[in-house]
Amino acid sequence: MERLQKVLAEAGIASRRKCEEIITSGRVQVNGEVVTTLGVKVNASEDEIKVDGRTVGQQKKIYVILNKPKGVITSATDPEGRKVVTDFLPGIRERVYPVGRLDYDTEGLLLLTNDGEFAHLLTHPKHHVPRTYQATVKGVPHGTLLEKLRIGVQLDDGMTSPAEVEYADVNPTKNESIIEITIYEGRNRQVRRMFESIAFPVIKLKRIKFGPIFLTGLPRAKYRHLTPKEVEELREAALQTHNVQKGQ
């Protein structure tokens, strides 16, 4: 017997927190009765569970890495009819959802899954799973400015946590530089806003690493399934960073 919200999350309905909202709004039935109380325990293999009238089945867990192109919405659907990341997953019949977000103009590594518990684990702020980006910026910021990013800068939603920042390349002809930055938060447009705070706007942004998983070798707009080992490494990375924050 497991809590209803956990069963829904593991079935890929949504994150556990969102599943709690779905339950309390009266959208879930168990064995024909509407359940609105959190904490109700069910047997996923025996009880009939429905969300919005549709039966929730035990789905095969899908874990995918996509090299997201620029100009694509990080969503499963878009009411305006724009390209979304699930358009680039031919052959995957299960409903999968992005783990976190990449901006419309940002490309690179994006994880997708139908495992709500897994997605929640990787994106919850308490876990601080690192994300590494390659930022192409106009100009060449000197070391003291990069040190500000390493220590933390003031944004309109508060100070950023310490980041890892290193030069990757400099193009004097174009007056551009490529800087690799690793952050441990997931704020909206955070990397772009960090560079704007030091007056070096981002021209191009690409995520190249999420936790221990690298984008290396995956062509743009293509995807592959994560291996069981990679899935376990991601779980461990989330739990380890949480334990470090707790001082364990």
Would you say residue 138 has pLDDT above 80?
Answer: yes
The CATH class given to the 2-55 domain equals: alpha beta
Q: How far apart are CA 48 and CA 33, in angstroms?
A: 10
Count of CB atoms situated within 10 Å of the CB of 232: 11
Q: What is the largest CA-CA distance in the chain?
A: 68
- What was the pLDDT predicted at 36? 96
Would you say residue 243 has pLDDT above 60?
Answer: no
Q: What is the mean pLDDT of residues 29-49?
A: 92
**100-103: long-range pairs with CB below 8 Å, 24+:** 100/186, 101/74, 101/186, 102/68, 102/74, 102/207, 103/74, 103/189, 103/192, 103/205
Any bridge partners for residue 51, and if so which?
28, 54
For the chain, what is the mean pLDDT? 91
> Domain locations in the chain?
2-55, 63-125+220-246, 130-210
How large is the C-alpha radius of gyration of the chain?
Answer: 20
Distances in Å between the Cα of 62 and the Cα atoms of 12, 25, 55, 152, 189 are 9, 28, 19, 36, 27
- What was the pLDDT predicted at 58? 62
CB-based contact 203:137 (threshold 8 Å): yes
Active site residues: 103
Entry pTM: 0.78
Q: CATH topology of 2-55 equal to that of 130-210?
A: no
Domain 130-210, classified CATH 3.30.70.1560, yes or no: yes
The CATH class given to the 63-125+220-246 domain equals: alpha beta
- Angle at CA of residue 115, ends 113 and 120, nearest 5°: 95
Q: How far apart are CA 102 and CA 163, in angstroms?
A: 18
